[in-house]
Amino acid sequence: MIMNLGAALALAATLGAPPAQPPTGKLPGTQATIVAKMAGRPIQFTSYGAPTPGRPHDGSWAWDPAKRAFVAADGTLSVSPDERWAALLHETRGLGVPKVTVTDRETGERTEIELPVPQDPTRENGYLQTLWPTWSPDGRHLLLNVFEAGGEPRSAGIVLIETPTLKPRFVRIDKALITVGGFQWTRDGKGVVVRWGKNGRTSIRQYDLEGAVKRTWHVRGRPVAQGQGTFTPSGRRFVTACMSLESSACVWDTATGKAVTRVKLPSSPVWGSVLGWYDERRLIAATGKGVGVIDLKGKVVETLVTLGKNQHFYPRFEARGKG
């Protein structure tokens, strides 16, 4: 039976206490194991997927800090950098109005929000697909990607939910390429970046929060989604998954758009070999053993999670505030 994660957080939350990080040990429903202490890091390990053959929508788990355990989840969880807000995007598969439940971990209050997503004209009672909730670096906004109707992976826009009012609004941004991860935040939280163009020939575009184009970098790959995100904490560099099968991470200078380095990564069953920044000089990325921290020469600094043989694994690491 799948537990409602928002209810679990609300019922069991220890109000005002900083959320505990997952301990070392085997992860439920997987052959994966946390092998490094997660507390005190600049990133938090918030959830993972471990689908099994023939059941691609099963196997979602999220960290419940009150229960100090990973619990089965009926959607995708994202946690704000200050760890106050936990947003659960419910799995609808395009049928019915998309909804997010936002839990205030300081008070335990849960708010269910219907997202202002356009209907899908190709399906009766259908709504445009909505995926990948992502918090801004300052924790002021939650972003969700909205796909246009049809088979091409293009955007219709984004939904932004502001805290603490939790009021949602739809921002139309047409035709961006959102194959994996979609829109990502700029370092200051005042804009978003996304891949633009056709597969094999793309750039990275920056938009403001009203949907206006602000800048274009003519670089390869897609912006990455996890840890500190696409941009370093200083904002001076950004990283993309830049080669076929996401076998390399490309680092770029934000001011000039010039290449800094390209880091070759090992093949891995981890979804997306290039996950995101760990800190200013290191990345979270797939390693030969699982998921870990690497430097910009591709050397594994530390392994965080090891994987069993043939274990497909979709981890989610998110930024953690300093407070």
SS3 204: strand
| CA end-to-end distance (rounded Å), the chain | 36
Find out whether 32 and 312 touch, Cβ atoms under 8 Å. no
- What predicted TM-score, i.e. pTM, was given to this entire model? 0.90
How buried is residue 15: exposed, middle or buried, by Cβ count under 10 Å (0-12/13-18/19+)?
Answer: exposed
DSSP 163-199: TTTTEEEEEE--S-B-SSS--EE-TTSSEEEEEEEET
pLDDT at 10: 43
- Listed in sequence order, the residues at least 6 apart from 301 whose beta carbon sits closer than 8 Å to its beta carbon are 282, 292, 293, 294, 295
What is the chain's pLDDT, residue by residue, as a tens digit (323 residues)? 334 554 444 433 444 455 688 999 999 989 899 999 999 999 999 999 887 665 545 578 999 988 999 999 888 999 999 999 999 999 776 678 999 999 999 999 999 999 999 999 988 878 999 999 999 999 999 999 999 988 778 999 999 999 999 999 999 999 999 878 899 999 999 999 999 988 678 899 999 999 999 999 999 999 999 999 999 999 999 999 998 778 899 999 999 999 999 999 877 666 667 889 999 999 999 888 899 999 999 999 999 999 988 788 889 999 997 64
Q: Is the peptide bond before 98 cis (omega within 30 degrees of 0)?
A: no
Question: Facing residues of 306 across strands?
Answer: 33, 290
The CATH code that applies to domain 5-319 is 2.120.10.30
